[in-house]
Structure 1
């Protein structure tokens, strides 16, 4: 059974999981890793989900405010050994619910073109491609997505 916990970026399990995410992204982002990494700080994330199975932290995700009515999904990660068990979907659904409870109407996110599993995952979860936004506008490796939230 998957247990999700609402927390913030000071959560030790979240910090540990993000280290795994950063190691993975360093290999997939290649030379562009430093550019992307500057936008992935976790010091002030107040909306963090950590997912546990049998008491062990297996995945995480977060969101931060983006504009007046949207949030940006950040730091989504599931340990490789736990993939395919619905953990990422549970995390994403929990983030969307939390954002909706805060009166946000949509979620946006950026992922890399080389993160093929992530691209498939977001499309499967009804995220639609949008033009690259913000710092990702001129980044050929970036793919941006959006999903409206049901109230």
Structure 2
């Protein structure tokens, strides 16, 4: 499968649309914990977004934002359900890592839910290692944090 990649920002209407689908899915996954997570997933200040397109149709998105002087945090990863299992998420993650490295960052970190086995498998498969929960996720039983040197 051949995908095209587009670097953009959080103002891109295709990104906004995909994030809407992501938020609806996460609301079901997180249930009554959704409001806690939602407060950390605002997209108004994200300047580094990647879209994966199949025949010019956006099918997946992800973003990075500065976490520290050495690390970018991976945010808002999502692939449309009908396009999962085709490698788009790994291609997307690689592009986000490449962009972070181009800007001089050494690592990527991220948080995901223990209730998302596909996400856990994706990050493990792509070389991410579990780290202690950071920041707002310290003490949150459902959260699992990862890090990768890029």
Take 1:67 and 1:85, find their aligned partners in 2: how far apart are those partners?
A: 32
Take 1:68 and 1:57, find their aligned partners in 2: how far apart are those partners?
A: 31
Secondary structure at the residue paired with 1:39? coil
**Shift in Å, 1:107:** 0.3
Match of 1:138 in 2: 139
Take 2:3 and 2:87, find their aligned partners in 1: how far apart are those partners?
A: 8
Match of 1:80 in 2: 81
Secondary structure at the residue paired with 1:95? helix
Q: Map 1:57-68 to 2 at 5 A.
A: 57-68=58-69
Structure 1 stretches of 4+ with a deviation exceeding 2 A read none
Runs of 5+ in structure 2 lacking a partner? none
Take 2:52 and 2:14, find their aligned partners in 1: how far apart are those partners?
A: 9
Match of 1:25 in 2: 26
* TM-score w.r.t. length of structure 1: 0.98
* TM-score w.r.t. length of structure 2: 0.98
Runs of 5+ in structure 1 lacking a partner? none
Take 2:52 and 2:43, find their aligned partners in 1: how far apart are those partners?
A: 17
Take 1:138 and 1:117, find their aligned partners in 2: how far apart are those partners?
A: 23
Match of 1:110 in 2: 111
**Shift in Å, 1:26:** 0.3
**Shift in Å, 1:17:** 0.2
Secondary structure at the residue paired with 1:139? coil
Secondary structure at the residue paired with 2:10? coil
Take 1:49 and 1:67, find their aligned partners in 2: how far apart are those partners?
A: 20
Q: Deviations for 1:80-120, whole angstroms, at most 9, x for unmatched residues?
A: 00001111011100000000000000000000000111001
